[in-house]
Structure 1
Amino acid sequence: MMDDPQLTSFLTGLPLESILSIKFSPLKACLPSIVKEFLGQVNAAG
């Protein structure tokens, strides 16, 4: 996923901190495997 420069630019431009810290807690509604993949992508992006 992070091999695509356009996608990387899009993802790094998202306000992830504000998205993930809202009261709804979107990661709580995801399957654990999705959360694990998401966190792996976040770590890979730096």
Structure 2
Amino acid sequence: MALIFFGLFLGAGVYSFWKQKIAKSVIAVLAIGSVMCLSAGLMRL
């Protein structure tokens, strides 16, 4: 369950960084981490 919340937290960070026009590489790393956390959390359910 914690992985799902952490994935959502990272996803919100991706959205925030996208709005602030931060470097695309940082957004990509956060997005990959978010997807990995969400998928790991969902597979544990």
TM range (shorter): 0.3 to 0.5
Point out the structure with the larger helix share.
2
Q: Which has the larger radius of gyration?
A: 1
Give the TM-score taking structure 2 as reference length: 0.43
